[in-house]
Chain A
Amino acid sequence: MSVLTLTIDGQEVGASSDQTILDVAKAHKINIPTMCFLEGLTPWGGCRICVVDVEGAPRPLSSCTTHVTEGMVVTTTTGKLESYRKMILEMLYAEGNHTCSVCVSNGHCELQDKAQEMKMDHVRLPYLNQNMPMDSTHEHFGLDQDRCILCTRCVRVCSEIEGAQTWAVAGRGVDSHIISDLGTPWGESDSCTSCGKCVQVCPTGSLVNKGNAVNEQIKKVNFLEHLLQMRGQ
């Protein structure tokens, strides 16, 4: 683990080699939009919203997974990158059935925030209108696949932090979907500890607490950093 210097958006910054571009950018108040990333969980690098230009790389690299190297030259925002990020958002909206007006997470949803931040006021791609199942067999929580963007935060928090390993992604390609245990109803799971961490880390209205009406599902993610500090990680 060695100290090194690199440039982000023309600004000379110092960093250590075990940091990712995102870590360094955050440490220097440089905003890079993220979606599937969550401080405290291993980076997944799947949503691709955090891609940045790195000199010498043939393509933009995901800043949440790419470790910094000496003399790296990073550009976090260009016209091209912004149009790519906006298109990724449009893809996420077109893939699911995101009817914000009647969603419990309306007003408290990271996907909604990103859309506003990136001025995505409409989706040019046709909607896929996939028939996605819902699972309300659990006593306290509900899973609405319509709102799922496959960021796998729930999978990661359940296996890395809680250790129950109830959640996983099944299927492949656009048929990928979240399942519990052997694709069996959540309520019948013998591995789920009902800790609710998955609900708290879910960025959208997919994993929610039962009993909330529209606009009422508010999630608090700071338990994660607190837990990690307690565990000395």
Chain B
Amino acid sequence: MSKVTVATVWLDGCSGCHMSFLDMDERLIEIAEKIEFVYSPFVDVKELPESVDLGIIEGAVSNEDDLKKALKFRKSCKFLISLGDCAINGNVPAMRNKFSVRECFDRAYHENVTEHPIDPVGEGVPALLETVKPVHQVVPVDLFVQGCPPSADTIYYVLTELLAGRTPDPTTMTRFGA
């Protein structure tokens, strides 16, 4: 029985959710028998395959690059999970939403900067969106796993349920900020 292909990505987040994923420790071995990472920070693959069974997105959409990745994930992955509060409600990254990008640049790159203050815009630097958005406000998402980060047990529960063909109910185990 071929393994379930899984792709993960972390957009504007702190990678805590991916770390929590690894906290499954010995259960990773059991999981590894059933799934195969085809694109992820955990592996070296650089290109997202055309079709993937399960996509897991951590982090909010706060710049053009995040947006491209989210759109690509939605196109390629049959089932998409928003993992963690940043992906679900913007969480800490979205705390800049009450200010304009201009105000953020002034505060971070101009105020009390003595040497050569410039805006972080240019070749190779993805432009910031005006507001940081949860993933499901740019692409439809199938499952939301709350938490900052969601505990390893919660992630394990979600994965095993999905692998067994059932739809998990993460709210029984976690909540925003859990």
Contacts and interface: CB of A to CB of B under 8 A. Distances in A.
Verify whether A and B have any Cβ pair under 8 Å: yes
B98 A101 contact: no
Nearest to A123: B89
Given A121-B170, A121-B171, A129-B98, A103 B177 contact: yes
Given A112-B175, A127-B97, A99 B137 contact: no
Contacts of A99: 85, 89, 91-92, 94-95
Given A122-B88, A122-B144, A100 B97 contact: no
The DSSP consensus for interface residues of chain A is loop
Contacts, number: 69
A86 to B, nearest CB: 12
A124 B140 CA distance: 10
Nearest to B178: A107
B148 A101 contact: yes
Nearest to B82: A122
Contact of B89 (A103, A107, A127, A132): A127
B79 interface: no
A121 B98 contact: no
B161 to A, nearest CB: 15
B176 A112 contact: yes
A37 interface: no
B119 interface: no
Which residue among A100, A101, A123 has the maximum number of chain B CB atoms within 10 Å of its CB? A101
Contacts of A173: none
A136 to B, nearest CB: 17
A56 interface: no
Contacts of B136: 122, 124
Nearest to B177: A100
A115 interface: yes
Contacts of A129: 94, 97-98, 131
Interface in A92-121: 93, 97-103, 106-107, 112, 115-116, 119-121
Contacts of B175: 100, 112, 115-116
Contact of B90 (A106, A120, A127): A127
A131 interface: yes
A130 interface: yes
A93 B177 CA distance: 13
B36 interface: no
B177 A107 contact: yes
A16 B176 CA distance: 40
Contacts of B146: 121
A64 to B, nearest CB: 25
A100 B98 contact: no
Contacts of B134: 122-123, 127
A122 B89 contact: yes
A97 B95 contact: yes
A121 B95 contact: no
B11 to A, nearest CB: 16
A126 interface: yes
A97 B97 CA distance: 9
B169 interface: yes
Given A100-B176, A101-B148, A112-B176, 16 more contacts: A98-B89, A99-B89, A99-B91, A100-B148, A101-B85, A107-B178, A112-B175, A119-B171, A120-B171, A121-B88, A121-B144, A121-B171, A122-B89, A124-B136, A127-B90, A129-B131
27 contacts: A93-B89, A97-B94, A97-B95, A99-B85, A99-B92, A99-B94, A100-B85, A100-B148, A100-B175, A100-B177, A101-B91, A101-B176, A103-B177, A112-B175, A115-B175, A116-B171, A116-B175, A119-B169, A121-B88, A121-B171, A122-B89, A123-B134, A126-B137, A127-B94, A129-B131, A131-B98, A131-B99
Q: Considering the complex of A and B, which 8 residue pairs feature the smallest CB-CB distances, nearest first?
A: A100-B177, A101-B148, A129-B97, A100-B176, A121-B144, A131-B98, A116-B175, A106-B177
